[in-house]
A = this chain, B = another copy of it.
Amino acid sequence: MSQSLAYCRLMPDRAVKMELFDQFARVAQALASGRRVEIVDVLTNGDRTVEELARQVRLSTANTSQHLQVLKEAGLVAATRDGTRVRYRIASPAVYKFWVGLRSLAAERLPGVKSLVETYLGSREGLEPMSGEELLARLKAGEPLVVVDVRPVEEYRAAHLPGAVSIPLDELEYRLRELPADSQVVAYCRGPYCAFAPEAVRTLQAHGYAARHLSDGLPEWAAAGYRVESANGGGASAET
Contact = CB atoms under 8 A, between A and B. Distances in A.
A67 to B, nearest CB: 12
Interface in A86-133: 91-92, 94-95, 97-98, 101-106, 108-110, 112-113, 115-117, 119-120
Count of identical protomers in the assembly: 2
Interface of A, secondary structure class, is helix
A5 B115 contact: yes
Interface stretch (A32-40, A46-54, A141-149, A171-179): A32-40
Contact of A34 (B2, B13, B35, B101): B2
Nearest to A97: B101
Given A7-B119, A94-B108, 9 more contacts: A7-B115, A23-B116, A25-B37, A27-B106, A28-B28, A28-B102, A74-B109, A75-B106, A76-B109
Closest 8 CB pairs of A and B: A75-B109, A22-B34, A28-B31, A21-B34, A29-B32, A25-B34, A32-B32, A5-B112
